[in-house]
Amino acid sequence: MIKRHLYRRKRKSKNEEKQAAENGMIARDLQTNLKYFKRLKEHHADLVIRKFKIGGTDKNACVVYMNELVDKQVINNHILKMLMVDWPEAYSTENADSISPAALFDFTHDHILAVNNVKEGQSYSELLLAVLRGSTVLMIDGINTALILDTVNKKKKALGGSFSEVVVRGSNTAFIDTLEDNMALLRQNLVNPDLTFFELNVGRRTQCRVIIAYLNGLANPRLVEEVKNRIRKIDTDQILDSGYLEQFIEDNPLSPFPQLQNTERPDRVIAALNEGRVAILVDGSPYVLIAPVAFWMFLQSPEDYYERWIPGTLIRWLRYLAAFISLFLPSIYIAFTSFHYGLIPTELAISITATREGVPFPAFIEALFMEFAVEILREAGLRLPKTVGQTVSIVGGLVIGESAVRAGIASPIMVIVVAITAICSFAIPQYSAGISLRYLRFAVMSFAALIGLYGLVLFFLLMTIHLVRLESFGYPYLAPAAPVRVQDLKDLLFRAPLFRMKRRPQLLKPEDQVRQRGT
Amino acid sequence: MIQRQKRQLTTIQTAFFTISIILGMGVLTLPRTITEGTQTPDGWISVILAGIIFLVWGRLIILLNRYYPDLTFFQYMPLILGKWLGNLVNLIFILYMILTASYQLRGLSAVTFLYLLPTTPDMVKILIFIFVAIYLINGGIIPIARICEILLPITLIVFAFVLLLSFRVFDPQHIRPVMGLGIEPVLKGTPGAVLAITGFEMMLILNAYMEQKKQAWKVMVASIAIPSVFYIVIYVATIGGLGMDQVLTLAFPTLELLRSYEITGILFERYESFMLAVWIMQIFTTYVGVHYFASLGFSQMTGKNIQYFIYGLAPLHFLISAIPNNLNEVFKLGDIYSCIELFVVLVAVPAALGVAWLKKRLSSSWKK
């Protein structure tokens, strides 16, 4: 857009302007600059150009801003009023001619503008970007520097609770859409001069602000550098959400597993930063990315650490079990009922056969049908308004399950299997990891339907192979299980008491290994 | 990629890798193969004896490795024995690994045919298995070692669990008398036990990839001791559960042991499915290990890309695995490859060690 405007300008304007435009620098002459913005106004109805004379002088000046993005109180009271009404007498009419534009500019900057954040800008693109982001540009005739005044008034939600990662004990504050607030949430809860926010702008057409947060002197510098490099390499129109960014910087786009963690919980991010990981904040997204990740992080909840270690450990085991069931239970059922009746207890086998009597489909089709129904219910429940959604899923689940059994399409045991699977998949604390297991489940089911238990084992091998080959920012995905770091296993097999966790995860090679000293 | 993975294995990885290669078909057949030799229930002593013998040869392997700590067996054999002789030994070693791989494949299809999938064609089972294996082998040595790290603990835990459950059919009378007929039967059983522990010689190759080479001897001890203990437990549990006479008639006595008892009241009555699942995983790691090392051997001998050999060996394994006509011939194949292995370990390694030692002596005396 900028380019096109510049181009048009170049053709029409005079020599001097041409040169300035070629450099993309603003001119000394206010009229020239105004022409540029006026032309913009043809396409930007919300652009405001307010021309005025400074105080009692006949010096021309103007402010340019986007009408809907700014705090008008600031513009009226702290910029326009100061420049027009409260302008000191000493600099008025009689003295005005003797004052050079440069002195006037400095005086304005130093004494007049009661705005907290003032920057200088000299190129059109810079000014335009600032205006588009909600700043106000002040230009004074005779000066080829403009002032960029921070008048941003972002439209945003109030801070709210977490949607997708709720804990019972602990804060439920979640990130919101605005980058500044998210940074504030981190600063506020992690008071540490080492907390570094490194800013990058991503996007060819829309410059989106991306912040890389890490603890200086703790995060491995090579990791930080790698994250920066990968983000710098992104060349795309626009980053709408951190999900865009994630897909551009992940190691293996073909993998079914997420290679960055996304979270809306500040405490999770802070815990990650304290372990030497890197967080990536994207403007406009309430989800912050954490890199690198290990597979197990998706099965952990911050609450594991807030509760005492015994319940923390037990609940963690429960979740591992739930993840296993949600992936394998339907296929185990399929394998045993279609291939290995002999391997299940006789009575159970008899009762399964009895309930399956009259079901016209093989177990695989039956399971596929029921799983499919559950997935649709879940998706429908998700998109509907909250109150309706719950009703739909409960009613749908009950009605479909019950009537499918009555109609003889599915056996009651299959309904139980599918229901347990669904419940277990809800126990996975991270949505994105849950999705992976959900669609992998269908793959296991086909393996089991083809070659039974053997297929299950082969699928397990296939998945494990993929996981050990996968890396997140060069760090092994299955660590600390493979490669084994005995030290780090205490946070995988158990949730060791906090006073036992004296060292940070070794694998990240943090610069400072020790988390706590003493007893 | 920031930190290009160093192609080096941790000590734990090396040990788990070797153990995973050792544990394979032997797990299911061992009680029978040993008892065939001893004809008394003293086989567990044979295992101890075999372990001790191999510790000695393991020590020789470590000593040999020290001459060329950063080279694999395939690379240093031509340096020690000369190009022709060295490469001949390499080829024999590779032949052993190819036969091992084929044996695992055939054993796998035999066991799955008997206990899991009586109707599925062997070809399908083996081909899928090879495809999965190639996916792993293509990743190189690091993912293979990591897989071993994950699968071996699972295997040991599941085996411990199912063998503990078999305690209800355990009858101490079955393993008595200890050394009732003296030492002679024990010695006769030792070859059977020796064959089951083959695989520890992979340290000849793995040593080059170790991060901390000083730990090599520890790894060697662990990778002989842990399988030996594991086998002793299996042997005692199986003989104690089924009795010697019955074991001799069974192709896969360990599995039959699990089929011989039922535990009612829990979800499963029989636990052989658990054992089969983890046993398939162990066969997988053994197969992947030897397939990878055979390809590596060819690649290091010829200097060509390893990919060719990975894909080239797969159909070869498949074809060889189809040669035996029945289960007895399959077990014959096992005996054959074990003999080749014994040749490599018992003859080639000491010979190479002697030559390397002589060369070093000569060159150092030359300097003087």
In DSSP terms, which residues pair with B237 in a beta bridge?
A: none
On whether the CB atoms of residues A515 and A488 are closer than 8 A, the answer is no
Identify which of B201, B260, B193, B258 has the alpha carbon closest to the alpha carbon of residue B229: B193
Alpha-carbon span A312 to A303, nearest angstrom: 8
Contacts of A71 (CB under 8 A, 6+ apart): A151, A152, A153
Please indicate, yes or no, if residue A118 is contained in any of the structural domains: yes
A452 at interface of B, judged by CB pairs closer than 8 A: yes
Tokens of A50: 């307010």
Q: What is the pLDDT of residue A20?
A: 57
Q: Which burial class, exposed, middle or buried, applies to B95 when counting CB atoms under 10 A from its CB (0-12, 13-18, 19+)?
A: middle
Q: In this complex, is the C-beta atom of A15 within 8 Å of any C-beta atom belonging to chain B? A: no
Residue ranges making up the domain that contains B193: 11-354
A462 and A318 within one domain: yes
Residue A371 belongs to some domain of the structure: yes
Alpha-carbon dihedral of residues A466, A472, A473, A475, nearest 10 degrees? -80
B235/B42 Cα distance (integer angstroms): 10
Q: Does A345 sit within 8 Å of B116, measured CB to CB?
A: no
Asked if omega into A266 is within 30° of 0 (cis), the reply is no
Question: For chain A, how many structural domains are there in total?
Answer: 3
Q: What is the mean pLDDT of residues B11-17?
A: 92
Closest alpha carbon within chain A to B113: A454
Give all strands of the β-sheet with A136-140 in edge-to-edge order: A47-53, A60-66, A136-140, A146-149, A118-121
To probe the interface with B, which of A334, A454, A462, A467 has the most B CB atoms within 10 Å? A454
Specify whether A358 is located in the same domain as A443: yes
Q: Is the per-residue pLDDT at A38 higher than 80?
A: yes
Residue A396: band (very low, low, confident or very high) from pLDDT cuts 50, 70, 90: confident
A469, A475, A488: best mutation site toward chain B, by most B Cβ within 10 Å?
Answer: A469
Of A223, A345, A455, the CB nearest to B2: A223
Contact A453 B116 (CB under 8 A): yes
Per residue in A54-76, pLDDT (tens digit) is 877 778 889 999 988 888 888 88
User: Does some domain include residue A517?
Assistant: no
Position A93 scores a pLDDT of 60
Q: Are residues A314 and A460 in the same domain?
A: yes
CB contact under 8 A, A225 and B139: no
**Does A327 or A405 have the greater pLDDT score?**
A327
* Rounded Cα distance, B131 and B135, in Å: 6
Statement: residue A185 has pLDDT above 70: yes
φ, ψ of residue B42 in degrees (nearest 5):
-100, 10
Nearest-angstrom CA–CA distance, A457 and B283: 12
Q: Write down the pLDDT at residue A17.
A: 54
Q: Is A454 on the interface with B (CB under 8 A)?
A: yes
- Minimal CA separation from A136 to chain B, in Å: 42
How many structural domains compose chain B?
Answer: 1
Question: Does residue B2 belong to any structural domain of this protein?
Answer: no
pLDDT of A110 above 90: no
CB contact under 8 A, A344 and B268: yes
Shared domain for A392 and A285, answered yes or no, is no
Q: Do B269 and A345 touch (CB under 8 A)?
A: yes
Which value, to the nearest 10 degrees, does the dihedral of the CA atoms of residues B163, B168, B172, B173 take?
-130
Q: How far is CA B240 from CA B33, B234, B253, in A?
A: 16, 10, 12
Query: Once rounded to an integer, what is the mean pLDDT over residues B253-263?
Result: 83
**Which residue would you say has higher pLDDT here, A415 or A514?**
A415
Hey, is the C-beta of A470 within 8 angstroms of any chain B C-beta?
Answer: no
**Is A481 domain-assigned?**
no
Q: Answer whether A422 touches B (CB < 8 Å).
A: no
Q: Which of A495-509, B138-152, B241-255 has the highest mean pLDDT?
A: B138-152
**B359 within some domain:** no
User: Which member of B5, B139, B149 has the closest CB to residue A484?
Assistant: B149
* pLDDT tens per residue across span A258-288: 999 999 999 999 999 988 899 999 998 999 9
Query: Does residue B116 belong to the interface with chain A, where contact is any CB pair within 8 Å?
Result: yes
Determine how β-strand A136-140 pairs with β-strand A60-66. antiparallel
The per-residue pLDDT of chain A, averaged, comes to 84
The answer to whether residue B10 neighbours chain A at the CB level (below 8 Å) is yes
DSSP annotation of A108 = I
Count of Cβ atoms closer than 10 Å to residue A322 Cβ: 20
Mark whether A284 and A374 lie in a shared domain. Answer: no
CB contact under 8 A, A457 and B280: yes
Write the burial class of residue A359 (CB in 10 Å: 0-12 exposed, 13-18 middle, 19+ buried): middle
Find the farthest-apart pair of alpha carbons in chain B and give their distance in angstroms, rounded. Answer: 78
Q: Is the per-residue pLDDT at B175 higher than 90?
A: no
Given CA atoms B298, B302, B303, B306 in this order, what sign does their dihedral have? negative
Q: What is the pLDDT of residue B3?
A: 43
Alpha helices in A384-480 (DSSP H): 386-406, 412-426, 431-469
Q: Using CA coordinates, name the residue in chain A closest to B141.
A: A469
Q: Does A76 touch chain B (CB under 8 A)?
A: no
Find the domain containing A247 and state its range. Answer: 179-293
Least confident of A336-340, B12-16, B234-238, B297-301: A336-340
Same domain, A251 and A145: no
User: Distance (Å) from the C-alpha of residue A424 to the closest C-alpha of chain B?
Assistant: 19
Are A453 and B10 inside 8 Å of each other by CB?
no
Same domain, yes or no: A470 and A331: yes
Asked if the model's pLDDT at residue B58 lies above 80, the reply is yes
Q: Is the pLDDT of residue B5 over 50?
A: no
Helices (H) and strands (E) in chain B, counts: 16, 0
Let me know whether A184 and A267 are in one domain: yes
CA-closest candidate to residue A159, choices A171, A147, A141, A145: A171
- Helices within B7-82 (DSSP H only): 11-22, 26-38, 43-67, 73-81
Run of H or E including A149: strand A146-149
Is the pLDDT at A498 greater than 90, yes or no?
A: no
- Rounded to the nearest 10°, the torsion over CA A343, A344, A350, A352 is -120
The residues that bridge with A222 in the sheet, in sequence order, are: none
A451 and A324 housed in the same domain: yes
B240 CA: distance to closest CA in chain A (Å): 23
| Same domain flag for A191 and A257 | yes
Whether residue A442 contacts residue A421, with contact meaning beta carbons closer than 8 Å, is answered with no
Tokens of A166: 């709720």
ipTM of the complex: 0.91
Contact B150 A464 (CB under 8 A): yes
Q: Note whether A456 contacts B: Cβ–Cβ < 8 A.
A: yes
Residue B299 belongs to some domain of the structure: yes
What percent of chain A has a predicted confidence (pLDDT) above 90?
25
- CB within 8 Å: A345 and B135: no
| Residue in A465, A485, A508 to test binding to B, most B beta-carbons within 10 Å | A465
Q: Over pLDDT 70: what percentage of chain B?
A: 96
> Which chain A residues have a beta carbon less than 8 Å from that of B284?
461
Q: Looking at chain B from residue 253 to 272, which residues have their Cβ under 8 Å from any Cβ of chain A?
A: 264, 267-270, 272
pLDDT band for B326, please (50, 70, 90 cuts).
confident
Quick check: A464 and B120 CB within 8 A?
no
Q: What pLDDT score does B182 carry?
A: 78
The answer to whether residue A453 neighbours chain B at the CB level (below 8 Å) is: yes
Domain assignment present for residue A419? The answer is: yes
Q: Report the C-alpha gap between B20 and B155 in whole angstroms.
A: 10
**Average pLDDT, stretch A50-55?**
85
| Assigned domain for A223 exists | yes
Which token pair is A29?
A: 């002459």
In a domain, A357, yes or no: yes
Residues contacting residue B113 through CB under 8 Å, at least 6 positions apart: B122
Task: Tell me the shortest Cα–Cα distance from A468 to chain B, in angstroms.
Answer: 6
Which residues are bridge partners to A65 per DSSP?
Answer: A48
Amino acid at A92: S
Cα A330 to Cα A444: distance, rounded to the nearest angstrom: 9
Tell me whether residue B362 is in a domain: no
Q: How many Cβ contacts (< 8 angstroms) between chains A and B?
A: 104
Q: Which residues of B touch A230 (CB under 8 A)?
A: none
The tokens 């439209």 sit on which residue?
A: A155
Same domain, A118 and A214: no
For residue A9, pLDDT over 50 is answered with: no
Q: Among all residues of chain B, which has the CA nearest to that of A460?
A: B281
Distance between CA atoms of A70 and A65, rounded to whole angstroms? 7
- Of the partner residues B2, B116, B129, the one whose CB lies closest to the CB of residue A473: B2
Residues from chain B that touch A483, judged by Cβ atoms under 8 A, are 10, 12-13, 145-146, 149
The pLDDT, as a whole number, for residue B18 is: 93
Look at residue A199 and give its three-state secondary structure: strand
Distance from CA of A31 to the nearest CA of B (A): 52
* Residue A95 in this model has a pLDDT that exceeds 70: no
Domain final residue, candidates A293, A316, A331: A293
Pair (A352, A470) in one structural domain: yes
CATH number of the domain encompassing residue B125: 1.20.1740.10
Q: Find the largest Cα–Cα distance for chain A.
A: 109
CA geometry: angle A163, A168, A174, nearest 5 deg: 35
What pLDDT, on a 0 to 100 scale, did the predictor assign at position B4? 45
Q: Does residue B245 belong to any structural domain of this protein?
A: yes
Residue B266: closest CA among chain A residues belongs to which residue?
A345
Cβ–Cβ of A465/B143 closer than 8 Å? yes
The alpha-carbon gap from B244 to the nearest alpha carbon of chain A, in Å, equals 26
pLDDT band for B267, please (50, 70, 90 cuts): low
Query: What DSSP character marks residue B197?
Result: T
A48 pairs with which residues across the strands?
A: A65
Question: Is the Cβ–Cβ distance between A492 and A503 less than 8 Å?
Answer: no
Question: Which residue among A293, A318, A351 closes a domain?
Answer: A293
Model confidence at A10, in pLDDT bands (50, 70, 90)? very low
Distance, CA of A245 to CA of A235 (rounded, Å): 11
Would you call B25 an interface residue with chain A, using a CB distance cutoff of 8 Å? Answer: no
* A128 part of a folded domain: yes
- pLDDT at residue number B1: 37
Which is nearest to A473 in space by CA: A212, A190, A252, A151? A252
Which residues does A321 contact at the CB level (< 8 Å), separation at least 6?
A: A424
**What pLDDT, on a 0 to 100 scale, did the predictor assign at position A22?**
62
C-alpha A485/C-alpha B310 separation (Å) is: 30
Does any CB of chain A come closer than 8 Å to the CB of residue B146? yes
Q: What is the DSSP letter of A63?
A: E
pLDDT (average), residues B237-254: 88
Nearest to A481 among B145, B150, B264 (CB): B150
pLDDT interval class at B290 (50, 70, 90): very high
- CA A227 → CA A436, B4, B255, B294, distances in Å? 24, 15, 51, 39
